């Protein structure tokens, strides 16, 4: 049995919950193509599960291995070329991406071959008026805004949120005796949340310690 060069891509545990790349400069600009490369096999597996892959193969594992090879090879090479990629190569890569994900080649070209997790969740089943889950890709829900660019929510998260909030409130208040006269907010996107979501790591510039920040935008 072939051992995957990726740590494990499972359509039930997706890795495309990203909004920013692995590394950012102080300006917030991306300098890594890694999130797109790593996300592709999960996108393809999700498309396979929802029967969106053209001429869909019968078995997932051989298909996933093929996509992994493409992601680490031709796809990563194309992304690293940046603006130097030729029109012919861009169209060829977009065609392969359509074949692996069911997302039209024209959409991939419009996105400069880089489709985020939120974009994918929105686009995969848009023809059926559905948004695809992200934490668990088996889930799907109604598309709230047909004209939006990306998914407005995660159907899986929304399906468990009521139960989750109930249990964490009960545990915090009854077992931990914490939270009296306070309101639990399950998401940093909710009104009234205060705090700065940034991550900092030291880097050496010219031998002098420095710090860069990459703002994090938590997904709902």
Burial class (CB in 10 A: 0-12, 13-18, 19+), 192: exposed
pTM of the model: 0.72
Q: Pairing between strand 140-142 and 198-205?
A: unpaired
Find, among 71, 86, 80, the residue nearest to 31 by Cα.
80
Q: Per-residue confidence of the chain (220 residues) as pLDDT tens digits?
A: 555 555 444 444 444 444 444 344 444 445 589 999 999 999 999 999 999 999 999 999 999 999 999 999 999 999 999 999 999 999 999 999 999 999 999 999 999 999 999 999 999 999 999 999 988 999 999 998 888 888 888 888 888 888 989 999 999 999 999 988 888 888 777 777 666 666 555 554 454 444 444 444 433 3
Domain ranges of the chain: 34-151
CA angle 23, 106, 21 (to 5 degrees): 5
Helical (H) or strand (E) element with 212: strand 208-215
Q: How far is Cα 119 from Cα 45, in angstroms, rounded to an integer?
A: 16
Q: How far is Cα 59 from Cα 45, in angstroms, rounded to an integer?
A: 11
Distance (Å) of CA 173 to CA 162, 163, 164, 188, 190: 17, 16, 14, 21, 21
* Dihedral sign (CA 144, 119, 24, 30): negative
Residue with tokens 């880097």: 203
Find, among 66, 62, 12, the residue nearest to 42 by Cα.
12
In this prediction, residue 212 carries a pLDDT of 42
In this prediction, residue 201 carries a pLDDT of 53
In eight-state DSSP terms, residue 83 is G
Q: How far is Cα 28 from Cα 119, in angstroms, rounded to an integer?
A: 20
């Amino acid at each position: 049995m072939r051992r995957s060069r990726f740590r494990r891509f499972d359509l039930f545990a997706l890795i495309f919950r990203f909004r920013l790349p692995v590394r950012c400069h102080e300006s917030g600009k991306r300098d890594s193509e890694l999130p797109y490369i790593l996300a592709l096999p999960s996108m393809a597996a999700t498309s396979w599960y929802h029967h969106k892959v053209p001429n869909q193969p019968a078995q997932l594992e051989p298909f996933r291995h093929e996509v992994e090879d493409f992601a680490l090879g031709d796809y990563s090479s194309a992304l690293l070329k940046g603006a130097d990629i030729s029109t012919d190569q861009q169209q060829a890569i977009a065609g392969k991406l359509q074949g692996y994900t069911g997302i039209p080649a024209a959409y991939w070209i419009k996105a400069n071959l880089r489709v985020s997790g939120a974009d994918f969740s929105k686009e995969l089943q848009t023809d059926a008026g559905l948004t695809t889950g992200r934490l668990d890709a088996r889930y799907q829900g109604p598309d709230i805004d047909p004209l939006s660019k990306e998914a407005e929510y995660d159907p899986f998260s929304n399906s468990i949120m009521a139960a989750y909030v109930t249990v964490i409130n009960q545990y915090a208040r009854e077992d931990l005796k914490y939270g009296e006269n306070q309101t639990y907010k399950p998401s940093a996107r909710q009104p009234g949340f205060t705090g700065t979501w940034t991550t900092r790591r030291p880097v050496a510039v010219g031998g002098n310690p420095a710090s860069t920040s990459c703002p994090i935008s938590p997904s709902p």
